[in-house]
Amino acid sequence: MAGNGRRKLVFDFHEGNRDMKDLLGGKGANLAEMTNIGLPVPPGFTTTTEACLSYLDRGTFPEGLMDEVDEHLERLEGTMGKKLGDDADPLLVSVRSGAKFSMPGMMDTVLNLGLNDKSVQGLAKQSSDERFAWDSYRRFVQMFGKIVLDIPGDRFEEALDRAKAKKGEAAKDTDLTAEDLRELTDEFKEIVRKETGEDFPHQPRQQLEKAIEAVFRSWNGARAVAYRRQNKISDALGTAVNVVAMVFGNMGEDSGTGVAFTRNPATGEKEPYGDYLPNAQGEDVVAGIRNTLKLTELAEIDPKSWEELRRGMDILEKHYRDMCDIEFTIERGKLWFLQTRVGKRTALAEWVMAHDMWQEGLIGREEGLLRLDPNRLEQLFKPVIEAGHKQKEKPATKGLNASPGAAVGRVVFTADGAEEWAERGEKVILVRRETTPDDYHGMIRSQGILTSAGGTNSHAAVVARGEGIPAVCGADQIRIQRAAKAFTVDGSNVQEGDWVTIDGTDGTVYLKQLDLEDPPLARAVAGDEAARREKIWKAFRAFMELADQKRRLRVRANADTPDQASNARARGAEGIGLCRTEHMFLGEERVAAVREMIFADTPEEEEAALASLLPLQRGDFVGIFEAMDGLPVTVRLLDPPLHEFLPNHVDLAVAVAVAEERHESEVVVRDEKIPLEEARDVLRKVEELHEANPMLGLRGVRLGIVKPGLYAMQVRAIVEAACDRVEAGGHPEVEIMIPLVATQEELRQMREELEPAAREVLVRRRVELPLHWGTMIELPRASVVAGEIAEVADFFSFGTNDLTQTAWGFSRDDIGKFLGMYEERKLVRANPFVTIDRPGVGRLMEMAVGAGKAVNPALHIGICGEHGGDPDSVVFCHEILLDYVSCSPYRIETARLAAGQAALGAAEAASK
Amino acid sequence: MAGNGRRKLVFDFHEGNRDMKDLLGGKGANLAEMTNIGLPVPPGFTTTTEACLSYLDRGTFPEGLMDEVDEHLERLEGTMGKKLGDDADPLLVSVRSGAKFSMPGMMDTVLNLGLNDKSVQGLAKQSSDERFAWDSYRRFVQMFGKIVLDIPGDRFEEALDRAKAKKGEAAKDTDLTAEDLRELTDEFKEIVRKETGEDFPHQPRQQLEKAIEAVFRSWNGARAVAYRRQNKISDALGTAVNVVAMVFGNMGEDSGTGVAFTRNPATGEKEPYGDYLPNAQGEDVVAGIRNTLKLTELAEIDPKSWEELRRGMDILEKHYRDMCDIEFTIERGKLWFLQTRVGKRTALAEWVMAHDMWQEGLIGREEGLLRLDPNRLEQLFKPVIEAGHKQKEKPATKGLNASPGAAVGRVVFTADGAEEWAERGEKVILVRRETTPDDYHGMIRSQGILTSAGGTNSHAAVVARGEGIPAVCGADQIRIQRAAKAFTVDGSNVQEGDWVTIDGTDGTVYLKQLDLEDPPLARAVAGDEAARREKIWKAFRAFMELADQKRRLRVRANADTPDQASNARARGAEGIGLCRTEHMFLGEERVAAVREMIFADTPEEEEAALASLLPLQRGDFVGIFEAMDGLPVTVRLLDPPLHEFLPNHVDLAVAVAVAEERHESEVVVRDEKIPLEEARDVLRKVEELHEANPMLGLRGVRLGIVKPGLYAMQVRAIVEAACDRVEAGGHPEVEIMIPLVATQEELRQMREELEPAAREVLVRRRVELPLHWGTMIELPRASVVAGEIAEVADFFSFGTNDLTQTAWGFSRDDIGKFLGMYEERKLVRANPFVTIDRPGVGRLMEMAVGAGKAVNPALHIGICGEHGGDPDSVVFCHEILLDYVSCSPYRIETARLAAGQAALGAAEAASK
């Protein structure tokens, strides 16, 4: 509180500390902290974010603000032994924005404040450098004019260019003499007079007041608002303003400015890292006028400052117990710390640093674990675009980052094409509007997948993540001309066979063949690289082991094939939470039988078609049970609508019409030739099965009810496979899951039909094996009546993809058209298909868990939607007491880490 | 309790009463009641439903059952002065099933029990009619053999046919002499021996025990189970068994049997009504051997019995305080009452009787109101198929009764066809697979609508109910050949122009031109008819007035045009709860502007297209506000996805491909010729806008966000129309509703955009008018987060169609394929699109009401889904404290009646 009972609005650096970021902003709080631990920080003070918010709210400074500023300014002048803008020996200050969270370059800063026509002379005298003084003044008028007085920056730039032009064709700033700069400053002041109708303010205190106001205003500037939207920073925070005594890095060769990291932010290695630019101010570094030196070169240029910097870096890292990112300036051999914060780092560096710091004793192992970002873990397993390329190349477009990792290959437009090219040994990127289950065979032969429609839960995205294939989806600036086998984007035309590179980690697309780097956690690398990799592996193992010790949630995989199951198990999966059987209906041989089943006119024909599918399915299950021996495997009976196994409606209708026009007896559908009569039959069936909204149609348990032989066949195949395994000495743990249940009766009647079929197999094979029967909870109604359903279920598995689709009324295939806008305009808190929407979908889940466990305390509950691999959602699943999460094999480690952190975080919170 | 602490299993008729239907079944309870009020009922006793259930559960009679039966039998023998199966003067009994609810003909009955080779002689002597005695015995062996001993009935029928054949070519039962019948009985007993390996049981008590057991078993007979499924009767009720002393209506011309209603069940008139068959038993009436007489003819045949019957009918009607349906037998001039129950009646008779009984003082006016079935009220306003035709004609197929009333017309297959034929003065029935908004112009020119796909909430059904057009939907046995302009069903081929009749009240379809009758509440009829109609109107007005006094719920209409609004107001609507604006985007002139908006490449083009729509929309609103002057009108901003305003994808793709093949420069799409280039553009747009699940796609508020000019235009049109009305002295009450909201932000941001647009109009027009802003609650997430949404809403309106679709994951357009099976197999309690699914959707509604009113007590809440006109759902809306229901204009009276009953019923329940 200020003396009169008001909230204190201005803090001297001595009065704050690093925990006051809310009030002083990140920069202010850290300047205070550095000051208090005795590092050389130019003195100064900070006006609070509250002052800013009050100003933005009411349009005027809060009462008493400038009184407090005056008090602190007086104290600053006392410390420095100079007066702001004094004619003979002026104190100059910088006025810098600083919000709670770093918003680099988004808000405004004014340097050299305090200069005017008189004090510039004093500065010249004190610095013995007239050119420096006039250059500082020129810069101040320009900056003040642009930022505080809202004069378009071009006006000053043009004048500067004219001044340089007078000196010769290729003249630089540095070619301007003191006199040139004096004239230029006069011209700048004239510009101010013209643009504002008033003289440039010479009174230093007036300059300061206006500069503070301008920084306050910059919080609501267009750039800052857009940045906050993008980075999910609240608009309600406001910015602090730091008024700091100026120090100059541009006072000669014994001066300079730089950025230092206490460890390497790219590799995590414990070594000083950064840049240094002699005889320069911070803005010169940004402007890129000269190339910077490596930070370590400072050791030779200025050993004393280097030692002091090293000491300060040590102090800061120990004090912050983390890698720090530091801005410093050397003014005539004197080192000043201008800013510090905990530094950003790559996913790789995050793991290496956490491990090293734990080993060094700087932090505890649990703290190390909690510092790891599970959202970035997957990156350690993925190839990345070579750093130089990534920095240099501008992407042609950007879509949704649907499946992480970089991929490079030649463009193909059909699944069949992908397969053919891959068989010829070509690397391909499959480019489509969207994919369907028909495309699966081509997708798995592609290096990467690029779609122009569909969201992060479209078919393409789900399959890509499941298979670990990089994918960029919903890149809606891409226009595909299917017939021409080409696409256009960003003014370029890309033909089949052209090279593209996609980065599924950030959604970027490049129309070039870029180099890729091995993943950080690649197993086989040679030479020096191998030692470095071993270190990463050590860090990885240490923290994963701890996460596994701590977590309560089991982690299972969504896996549909023996290969996926083995991969998942190697990654630590403790079972399969979702084995989708629809993929077992694909492949040439199978599709034929599936179509026979669909076209069956009599129960006998249907029975025969199903009988031919049974041994194929059984074989799939044997492999999966073997890979997961001793661990639970949840098999979901067929879920998608049957028309997914038939040709596309429009394609077929057009092909039939064209064949009829041409009086041809054969129809070509997707490179397959079939007789016209047959094509007409198929078309009739497609029309008969057509659904306006297949997502809400004849699928899941509804199929099981309408075609009872289908599920019975699947159950027989599952149980026969389990029997095979038992006879081979294995230990299959079988859970059979009925999808899309909305009522108790559906599950009850299905169990009544299917349990005898299962029992019959067990009796015939003389095998004793407990079977568990359960359901997906993936419809809002199922959540609401979960108590009723729990009476007849051994387990629940939340199908949060469909639950999100139905709760929100969002088709995941169609939201590409508006979800981007929804995120941008904050109409959704986050993409609900990525992170569980707690107040909506999450509430439905909580209701279901509560009602289900109340009725049936033995009920086992998990989640098998895509959210099972999302760290925030894993925390939620921990909180609502689920038993396990199940996710794609490539997210197993992510889920394990997040589950460990959730348990550890909850334990820490409880102990407080 | 029986003496030893067991539950009593057998009740004498003196021991029961009409309230004991659960235990004694309907027949047993009413026999007991009639006995107790002194009517002549043959003595007897009843075994309880509990005895039946115990038997069905354990496979044996409950302990002590036959002891109790023996006791009661002894008492019966005492009363009658005869012994069961006595050689000289046998007591004979009937053993009749009787469940709580009437299941006519579904379970078994054995007559004449007690006869054997000796007692038949006694019966012959006592009746002095040897032929009668042997015929009775013959019938008993046949019935017992078939029902109790499970011998196929054919065996006996064949023997009977052989016996008749011996007597001559066209011999009847009555041609058989006593001797013939004795021989036939011997043959029957021989059949029993052959089929069962045992002699026909001669011991009367053994006969009785086996007959009781057979009736118990018949509860689970296939017919009975199917009937209960169909009629939603619980399987857990069981049947009682009534053992009654036989009386014979076939003992000569002074004997007979009949059925009597205390009032006319067809018209409701207060007059004795029924049939009488002299010298016959009940089964002869059923067999239809002779034509029955009108009941009133009994007055001349047997004045004494007639008087006695009239007196009994009077007693029963006064006692039951309702119209009774009575079975009676006259044995040698002595009248016996064999059964009674409250009689079934037509919708018309229900109203007339309730009114008359109130006028007579038999019941109170409120009781009369509660007796009316609101589900059948709509029938009073609809033409029906002429009774004779309806009885005689067998329907060709049956679909869903989507919109009530009968319609007759000539088949057309396109909306344009319907319009053309109608303009030529033809009555047409529009037959389609399903309809789309494009078909609207043809639908409203049709007498009726028949679809082969789609459920009771498909587009066809919703529009038909809204327009009061009879419709049968989802008649899936109909196969339409669009190209051939024909359909096949039930082996017949129907061409365009052929006559059909549909009955939307029961879903039947006839391939003929049947006669229709005027609706009971038709206003203009001539002659005698007029007086009768006036009586119905009096009843109607009396009870509707009372319902309106009692109800708490307001009743509004879903109306989209001024005509609909006027119609709704005339029917008692107190406002419009849902004015859909999508219909305002149809019509040639408008569709062009709508397409321009969709194709707009620049904001200016979009703006121009919207500007041309504005005056048209404004005109629509002026008419609606005028029709509803002084009452609230809730206008919903555009909801459907934009591709609904473009041609069908498949049709267009085929048309373009065909034109390309033919090298034609024009494409024909739905009789419209457009240049090929343009068609290609449209096709590209259709592909761009294509959605996998349009129901869950870019529609509702999402459209409003993506195309902000669209909603702003609509709001301006609404507010300008309201200003026009105010200037004309009207009192518009405007509510603006945003559809498909899932988050608070959507509604908040929309209001922020639209309220200024509305204010701008009001300021410009200098009109003061309060506007109310609200949202549909039609997504499960909206229900769950209703508290958040209520912070920014003035009102909620439950869109229970979409809420049901999303909560269940049921597309109303696609469930036709399985909903029938779901209802049959009781996988759903009822069709959730007809009656609100209380435990699922209803629970979501309750949550929303609770959370919404907690946050915003002034929040006004209604419902505008189809359920708003469903009586059961109206009761639910009353219970969860909604403020109003809104339904199609043709359901207004239904909703008013149901709302009145709900309030009255709740008040009665509370006073108990």
Q: Contacts of residue A826 in chain B, CB cutoff 8 Å?
A: 745
Residue B109: its pLDDT value, please? Answer: 86
Q: Where are the beta strands (DSSP E) in A394-552?
A: 397-398, 400-403, 406-412, 428-432, 448-451, 471-473, 479-481, 486-489, 492-495, 499-503, 508-510, 516-517
- Strand B860-863 versus strand B733-738 pairing type: unpaired
Give CA–CA dist B141/B193, Å, rounded.
12
Across the interface, whether the CB atoms of B705 and A653 are under 8 A apart is answered no
Across the interface, whether the CB atoms of A705 and B649 are under 8 A apart is answered no
Residue ranges for chain B with pLDDT beneath 70:
1-5, 230, 284-290, 457, 523-529, 670, 912
Residue A342: strand pairing partners = A324
Catalytic residue among B324, B864, B877, B887: B864
Give CA–CA dist B248/B123, Å, rounded.
12
Q: For B282-326, give the DSSP string.
A: HHHHHHT-SPPEEGGGHHHH-HHHHHHHHHHHHHHHHHHTS-EEE
Q: Contacts of residue B822 in chain A, CB cutoff 8 Å?
A: 705
Length of chain A: 912
Length of chain B: 912
Q: For A206-245, give the DSSP string.
A: HHHHHHHHHHHHHTTSHHHHHHHHHHT--TTS-EEEEEEE
Residue A1: its pLDDT value, please? Answer: 46
Q: Where are the beta strands (DSSP E) in A627-725?
A: 632-636, 666-669, 672-675
Across the interface, whether the CB atoms of B814 and A706 are under 8 A apart is answered no
Please enumerate in sequence order all residues whose Cβ is within 8 A of that of B380, keeping only pairs 6 or more positions apart, or say none.
B347, B348, B351, B519, B520, B521, B536, B540
Across the interface, whether the CB atoms of A811 and B691 are under 8 A apart is answered yes
Q: Contacts of residue A461 in chain B, CB cutoff 8 Å?
A: none
More reliable by pLDDT, A246 or B643? A246
Find out whether A257 and A326 touch, Cβ atoms under 8 Å. Answer: no
Q: Which of B558, B726, B581, B586 is nearest to B644 (CA)?
A: B586
pLDDT band at A912 (very low <50, low <70, confident <90, very high): low
For residue A94, the surrounding DSSP H or E stretch is strand A93-99
Q: Where are the beta strands (DSSP E) in B442-490?
A: 448-451, 471-473, 479-481, 486-489
A94: left (phi over 0), alpha (psi -120 to 50) or beta: beta
On whether the pTM is more than 0.90, the answer is: no
Kindly tell me if the per-residue pLDDT of A33 is higher than 80. yes
Terminal CA-CA length for chain B? 28
Across the interface, whether the CB atoms of B695 and A698 are under 8 A apart is answered no
Query: Which residue in the block uniquely carries the two structure tokens 């598995």?
Result: A797
Nearest to A706 among B691, B807, B821 (CB): B821
Q: Contacts of residue B691 in chain A, CB cutoff 8 Å?
A: 811, 813-814
Query: Which residue in the block uniquely carries the two structure tokens 């890698």?
Result: A323
Across the interface, whether the CB atoms of A693 and B780 are under 8 A apart is answered no
Mean pLDDT of chain B: 91
Across the interface, whether the CB atoms of B825 and A749 are under 8 A apart is answered yes
In a 3-state reduction of DSSP, which class is residue A639? coil
Find out whether B277 and B259 touch, Cβ atoms under 8 Å. Answer: no
Tell me the per-residue pLDDT of B68-103, one tens digit each, with 9 for 90 and over: 999 999 999 999 999 999 999 999 999 999 999 888
- Strand A406-412 versus strand A428-432 pairing type: parallel
- Amino acid at position A622, single letter: V
In a 3-state reduction of DSSP, which class is residue A193? helix
Residues of A noted as catalytic: 459, 864
Q: Contacts of residue A778 in chain B, CB cutoff 8 Å?
A: 809
Residue B1: its pLDDT value, please? Answer: 46
- Strand B239-245 versus strand B93-99 pairing type: antiparallel
Chain B residue closest in CA terms to A820: B706
B274: left (phi over 0), alpha (psi -120 to 50) or beta: left
- Amino acid at position A168, single letter: G
> Vertex A898, ends A894 and A903: CA angle to 5°?
150
Query: Which residue in the block uniquely carries the two structure tokens 């075609």?
Result: A707
The dihedral built from the CA positions of residue B432, B436, B438 and B441, taken in this order, carries a sign that is positive
Across the interface, whether the CB atoms of B745 and A840 are under 8 A apart is answered no
Tell me the per-residue pLDDT of B449-492, one tens digit each, with 9 for 90 and over: 999 987 776 788 878 877 789 999 989 899 998 888 999 998 89
Q: Give the residue ranges of DSSP H helices in A275-324.
A: 282-287, 298-301, 303-320
Query: Which residue in the block uniquely carries the two structure tokens 């009073």?
Result: B380
Nearest to B809 among A654, A696, A815 (CB): A696
Find out whether B45 and B72 touch, Cβ atoms under 8 Å. Answer: yes
> What single DSSP character describes residue A880?
T
Catalytic residue among B72, B459, B867, B878: B459
Q: Contacts of residue A805 in chain B, CB cutoff 8 Å?
A: 696
Give the best residue of A805, A814, A818, A837 to mutate against chain B (max B CB count within 10 A): A814
Find out whether B680 and B666 touch, Cβ atoms under 8 Å. Answer: no
Q: What are phi and psi of B471, to 5 degrees?
A: -150, 140
**For the residues A480-493, what does the mean pLDDT come to?**
90
Across the interface, whether the CB atoms of A827 and B745 are under 8 A apart is answered yes
Give CA–CA dist B513/B748, Å, rounded.
56
Other C-beta atoms closer than 10 Å to the C-beta of B191 total 21
Mean pLDDT of chain A: 91
In a 3-state reduction of DSSP, which class is residue A706? helix
For the stretch B288-295, contacts whose Cβ atoms lie closer than 8 Å and that sit 24 or more positions apart, written own/partner, are B289/B172, B289/B173, B292/B258, B295/B258, B295/B259, B295/B260
Query: Which residue in the block uniquely carries the two structure tokens 């880490």?
Result: A897
Residue B229: its pLDDT value, please? Answer: 74
pLDDT band at A297 (very low <50, low <70, confident <90, very high): very high
> Sheet containing A486-489: which strands, arranged edge to edge?
A479-481, A486-489, A492-495
Tell me the two tokens of residue A214.
């301008």
Please enumerate in sequence order all residues whose Cβ is within 8 A of that of B171, keeping only pairs 6 or more positions apart, or say none.
B164, B165
Q: Please tell me the distance in Å from B8's CA to the nearest CA on chain A.
A: 34
Nearest to A696 among B649, B788, B811 (CB): B811
Q: Work out the burial of residue A765: count CB atoms within 10 Å of its CB; fewer than 13 is exposed, 13-18 middle, 19 or more buried.
A: middle
Is B459 annotated in the active site? yes
Count of CB pairs separated by less than 8 Å, A with B: 186
Residue A829: its pLDDT value, please? Answer: 87
Residue A11: strand pairing partners = A46
Q: Which of A414, A441, A489, A551 is nearest to A882 (CA)?
A: A551
In a 3-state reduction of DSSP, which class is residue A292? coil
pLDDT band at A286 (very low <50, low <70, confident <90, very high): low
Give CA–CA dist B136/B124, Å, rounded.
10
